[in-house]
């Protein structure tokens, strides 16, 4: 039996702060519930000083999720730490996670501080956090590019001041595996008092090495790893939780650790995050991609039919992936539908069951067979947590070969109908233009992707759109046989989120006047990653 490795999930903090992955409070809570089912050991719920929304999310997660440790991030100063601690008040097992950059590059260009000043700040911040909370983590940001002797001094200062976990981030995804492993081995050997402290990895994927570096850190002595579902996170992302967990599960012969993760919840966690953020994983993504267990080549199919271990090192149910066969048709009842949703990791409330069933029967009337992807699409379309401000009642487009297309749109809001039309180069742009004219919140498309859902001629188009409204990005997704309709509805979803969120921010400032936290919320939203 291997030593126990702690899984620190930062999907709701490092993951959520990456552009396009933002979630509202209810979405964060739903994700936190799933992370609890997955059995993560530590759940980093946010960066409370960064925004009122982050503070509220950490507080709400602390109130409801009782089993894992709940961590909140703070820069190395009293104001940040107080804010993190106030958000953690209700937590059963709180942790303050404080960080300060230690590389010469960050000291010179970002902090404009000397090494001595930074050492003092570390001692103060960790000591102050420890005076409030018995569980304190310290991260020397950009440890991967920090001079090794100075890093040892910083770690020593943190341990002396009472840090219980030391996390060594490769903030910019720069390290190669032997370097990252060596850093852990050296810190463990040279920092006095390390026997009382848990060492932790935190890796980014800029060179595609985040998971490999995490495993290297474990070999170097780390017993906590920081990671996110689907590997979401700053720039190229963080280390993907599902990949590390399954590497440890499959190769327990070669790795000295084991995790407490319930692997059967991995697929549901990945799907839920995709639903919450609108950011899908690529088809060939390890462990949770649509093709991760698909065998196309005849020779492979033959082998798998004879014995799956010929070409499969993981059986799909181990990660909670059910087979992708036809599941339901128009004669299927509510019970079968609910059961299938549960197999897909989606638990529905009674009103949600009714809504899903009605959408399912509509779809089953149009389509002979309903697939898992269709069921997921139904829930995505029917259960958006942002209240629908405008509903699409009707739209018509005329596409012309001379390059101009026209769209006429009818939207309804609070029982009132609004009509408008616009022309553009293509029918989708024309539909977006007409929607903008009605919502009066024009957006710019940042990303537009189409793929087919379900096999063969029975497949439908799923359009995912990311658009920028007043500097902030929102996403929408819709599935239909008609690509233009799917695009218009996906865009309207994003526009509804924008109208809702921008009004919420305006209402907040009208209610309270601009508070420092509120300003932070705006800064954070308009300049993500700018802390
Ligand atoms: O990448 C990083 O250095 C971080 C720290 C705040 C831990 O996310
Ligand atoms: Zn990070």
Q: What percent of the chain has pLDDT over 90?
A: 60
Among residues 506, 445, 437, the alpha carbon closest in space to that of 473 is found at 445
Q: What pLDDT sits at residue 118?
A: 98
The SS3 assignment for 302 reads helix
Q: What pLDDT sits at residue 516?
A: 42
Output the six-digit token pair for 132.
Answer: 């409030």
Q: What pLDDT sits at residue 310?
A: 83
As a whole number of angstroms, the distance between CA 526 and CA 528 comes to 6
CB 206, CB 174: distance < 8 Å: yes
As a whole number of angstroms, the distance between CA 466 and CA 476 comes to 7
Q: What pTM was estimated for this model as a whole?
A: 0.72
Q: Decide whether any atom of ligand 1 lies within 6 Å of the 474 Cβ.
A: no
As a whole number of angstroms, the distance between CA 45 and CA 71 comes to 6
What is the distance in A from the centroid of ligand 2 to the CA of 145?
A: 14
DSSP letter string, 196-261: GSEEEEEEB-TTS-HHHHHHHHHHTT--EEEEBGGG--STT-B-BHHHHHHHHHHTTTT-SEE---
Output the six-digit token pair for 155.
Answer: 């770690």
Q: What pLDDT sits at residue 366?
A: 74
Pairing, β 94-101 against β 136-141: parallel
The 8-class DSSP code of residue 289 comes to S
- Residue-wise pLDDT for 482-493, tens only, equals 889 999 999 998
Pairing, β 405-413 against β 391-398: antiparallel
Binned at pLDDT 50, 70 and 90, residue 90 comes out as very high
Output the six-digit token pair for 418.
Answer: 């609004």
- Residue-wise pLDDT for 108-148, tens only, equals 999 999 999 999 999 999 999 999 999 999 999 999 999 99
Dihedral sign computed on CA atoms, order 214, 217, 221, 225: negative
User: Across the chain, what does the average pLDDT equal?
Assistant: 88
Among residues 147, 145, 100, the alpha carbon closest in space to that of 124 is found at 100
| Residue in 48, 77, 99, 100 to alter for ligand 1 test, most ligand atoms within 8 A of Cβ | 99
Output the six-digit token pair for 268.
Answer: 């549901």
Q: What pLDDT sits at residue 507?
A: 67
- On the question of pLDDT at 519 being above 60, the answer is no
Q: What pLDDT sits at residue 515?
A: 44
Q: What pLDDT sits at residue 208?
A: 98
- Residue-wise pLDDT for 137-172, tens only, equals 999 999 999 999 999 999 999 999 999 999 999 999
Q: What pLDDT sits at residue 196?
A: 96
- On the question of pLDDT at 528 being above 50, the answer is no
Helix axes 372-382, 334-343, angle to 10 degrees: 90
- On the question of pLDDT at 64 being above 90, the answer is yes
Average pLDDT over residues 202-226: 98
What is the distance in A from the centroid of ligand 1 to the CA of 167?
A: 9
What atom of ligand 1 comes closest to residue 141's alpha carbon? 3
As a whole number of angstroms, the distance between CA 21 and CA 279 comes to 7
Q: What pLDDT sits at residue 178?
A: 98
- Give the Å distances, CA to CA, from 427 to 405, 462, 464: 5, 17, 16
- For the chain, the helix, strand and coil percentages under 3-state DSSP, each to the nearest 5: 50, 20, 30
Dihedral sign computed on CA atoms, order 209, 214, 218, 221: positive
| CB neighbourhood size of 260 (10 A) | 13
Nearest ligand by distance to the CA of 231: 2
Nearest-CA residue for ligand 1 atom 7 is: 139
The SS3 assignment for 461 reads strand
What atom of ligand 1 comes closest to residue 142's alpha carbon? 3
Q: Decide whether any atom of ligand 1 lies within 6 Å of the 202 Cβ.
A: yes
Burial of 306 (0-12, 13-18, 19+ CB in 10 A): exposed
What atom of ligand 1 comes closest to residue 143's alpha carbon? 3
Degrees to nearest 5, angle at CA 327 with 324 and 330: 145
Residues in CB range of 468: below 8 A, 6 or more apart: 443, 444, 446
- Residue-wise pLDDT for 319-367, tens only, equals 998 754 445 777 778 888 888 887 776 778 777 888 888 888 888 877 7
As a whole number of angstroms, the distance between CA 364 and CA 370 comes to 6
Nearest ligand by distance to the CA of 80: 1
CB 71, CB 8: distance < 8 Å: yes
The SS3 assignment for 139 reads strand
DSSP letter string, 52-113: HHHHHHHHHHHHH--SSEEEEEEESSHHHHHHHHHHTTT-SSEEEEEEEE-SHHHIIIII--
The 8-class DSSP code of residue 19 comes to T
What is the distance in A from the centroid of ligand 1 to the CA of 14?
A: 7
As a whole number of angstroms, the distance between CA 531 and CA 528 comes to 8
| Residue in 44, 102, 171, 530 to alter for ligand 1 test, most ligand atoms within 8 A of Cβ | 171
Which helix (H) or strand (E) segment holds residue 266: the answer is: helix 266-277
- On the question of pLDDT at 522 being above 70, the answer is no
What is the distance in A from the centroid of ligand 2 to the CA of 255?
A: 24
Structural Rg of the chain based on CA atoms: 25
Q: What pLDDT sits at residue 466?
A: 87
What is the distance in A from the centroid of ligand 2 to the CA of 231?
A: 11
What is the distance in A from the centroid of ligand 2 to the CA of 237?
A: 8
Query: What is the biggest distance separating any 2 CA atoms in the chain, rounded to whole angstroms?
Result: 75
Domains, the chain, ranges and CATH?
3-277 (3.20.20.70), 293-322 (no CATH), 326-370 (no CATH), 391-517 (3.30.160.270)
Average pLDDT over residues 241-248: 98
Query: Nearest 5°: phi and psi at 480?
Result: -160, 160
Q: Decide whether any atom of ligand 1 lies within 6 Å of the 141 Cβ.
A: yes
Output the six-digit token pair for 171.
Answer: 């903030």
What is the distance in A from the centroid of ligand 1 to the CA of 169?
A: 6
What atom of ligand 1 comes closest to residue 238's alpha carbon? 1
């Amino acid at each position: 039996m291997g030593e126990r490795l702690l899984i620190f999930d930062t999907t709701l903090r490092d993951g959520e702060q990456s552009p396009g992955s933002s979630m509202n409070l209810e979405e964060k809570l739903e994700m936190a519930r799933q992370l609890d089912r997955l059995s993560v050991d530590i759940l980093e719920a946010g960066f409370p000083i960064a925004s009122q929304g982050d503070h509220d999310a950490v507080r709400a997660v602390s109130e409801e999720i009782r089993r894992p440790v709940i961590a909140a991030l703070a820069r190395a100063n009293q104001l940040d730490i107080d804010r993190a601690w106030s958000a953690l008040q209700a937590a059963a097992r709180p942790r303050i996670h404080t960080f300060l950059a230690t590389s010469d590059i960050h000291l010179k260009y970002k902090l404009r501080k000397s090494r001595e000043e930074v050492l003092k700040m570390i001692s103060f911040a960790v000591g102050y956090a420890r005076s409030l909370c018995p569980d304190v983590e310290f991260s020397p940001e950009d440890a991967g590019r920090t001079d090794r002797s100075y890093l040892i001094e910083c770690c020593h200062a943190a341990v002396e001041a009472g840090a219980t976990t030391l996390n060594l981030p490769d903030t910019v995804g720069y390290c190669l595996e032997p370097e990252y492993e060596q850093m852990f081995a050296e810190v463990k050997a040279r920092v006095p008092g390390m026997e009382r402290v848990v060492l932790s990895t935190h890796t980014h994927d800029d060179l595609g090495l985040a998971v490999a570096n995490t495993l290297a850190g474990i070999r170097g002595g780390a017993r906590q790893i920081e990671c996110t579902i689907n590997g979401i996170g700053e720039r190229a992302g963080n280390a993907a939780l599902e990949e590390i967990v399954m590497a440890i599960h499959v190769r327990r012969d070669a790795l000295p650790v084991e995790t407490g993760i319930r692997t059967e919840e991995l697929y549901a966690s990945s799907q839920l995050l995709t639903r919450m953020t609108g950011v899908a994983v690529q088809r060939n993504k390890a462990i949770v991609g649509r093709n991760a267990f698909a065998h196309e080549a005849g020779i492979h199919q033959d082998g798998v039919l004879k014995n799956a271990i010929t070409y499969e090192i993981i059986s799909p149910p181990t990660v909670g992936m059910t087979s992708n066969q036809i599941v339901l048709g128009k004669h299927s009842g509510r019970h079968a539908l609910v059961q299938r949703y549960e197999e897909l990791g989606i638990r529905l409330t009674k009103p949600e069951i009714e809504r899903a069933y009605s959408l399912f029967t509509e779809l089953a009337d149009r389509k002979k067979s309903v697939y898992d992807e269709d069921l997921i699409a139904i829930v995505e379309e029917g259960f958006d947590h942002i209240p629908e401000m405008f509903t699409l009642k009707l739209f018509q487009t005329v596409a012309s070969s001379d390059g101009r297309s026209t769209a006429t749109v009818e939207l309804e809001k609070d029982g009132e109908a609004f009509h408008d039309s616009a022309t553009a180069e293509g029918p989708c742009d024309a539909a977006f233009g007409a929607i903008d004219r009605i919502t009066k919140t024009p957006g710019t498309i940042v990303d537009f992707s189409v793929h087919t859902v379900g096999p063969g001629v029975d497949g439908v188009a799923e359009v995912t759109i990311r658009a920028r409204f007043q500097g902030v990005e929102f996403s929408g997704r819709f599935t239909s046989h008609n690509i233009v309709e799917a695009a218009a509805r996906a865009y309207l979803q994003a526009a509804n989120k924008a109208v809702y969120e921008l009004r919420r921010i305006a209402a907040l400032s009208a209610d309270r006047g601009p508070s420092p936290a509120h300003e932070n919320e705006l800064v954070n939203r308009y300049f993500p990653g700018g802390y």
